[in-house]
Structure 1
Amino acid sequence: MAFVRYYVGDVVKMKKSHPCGSDEWEVKRIGTDFLIVCNGCGHQLLMPRPKFEKAVKKIISRLPENE
């Protein structure tokens, strides 16, 4: 299994959608916990790293300086 590196500003697609209907989230903080913000309604969620990594389907976009 490959190690995936996440950066602040990444937009990720989650396996399950948020109740607002959006499944795209922006990463605002990384570390032991991830702070992610829903792109649909702006809801903020603090999620432990193992749960976040299991819930992410793919990285949709990344800032150019992080590539």
Structure 2
Amino acid sequence: MDKTRPHYNLHDIVELKKPHPCGSKRWIITRTGIDFALVCQGCGHRVMMPRKTFEKAVRQHWPHVTDEPG
């Protein structure tokens, strides 16, 4: 596994380089794998994109924090 690549999980929030037409740049990850599914935090629009495109488009990443112990 390549240590320089960030690890993306479900419900992580990412900021993409280009804004969505609604004006928001932040998206929630709803599917990971070969393709990524994202939901816009501004308007709720859903998109799918290949991993390579997704990784190039990400500007900032905030991991999902759970309140579960352990």
Q: TM-score, normalised by structure 1?
A: 0.89
Q: Within 5 A, what are the aligned runs for 1:1-67? A: 2-64=4-66
Deviation digits for residues 22-66 of structure 1 (CA, Å, limit 9, x no counterpart): 00000000000000000000000000000000000011342247x
Q: State the shift of 1:2 in Å.
A: 1.2
- Higher helix content, 1 or 2: 1
Please state whether the residue corresponding to 1:5 is helix, strand or coil: coil
CA RMSD of aligned residues (A): 1.5
Structure 1 residue runs of 4+, over 4 Å off?
Answer: none
Please state whether the residue corresponding to 2:22 is helix, strand or coil: coil
The percentage of counterpart residues that share the same residue type is 46
Tell me which structure has the larger Cα radius of gyration: 2
Q: TM-score, normalised by structure 2?
A: 0.85
Corresponding residue pairs, total: 65
Specify every segment of 5 or more residues in structure 2 that has no aligned partner in the other structure, as ranges.
none
Residue type of the alignment partner of 2:19: S
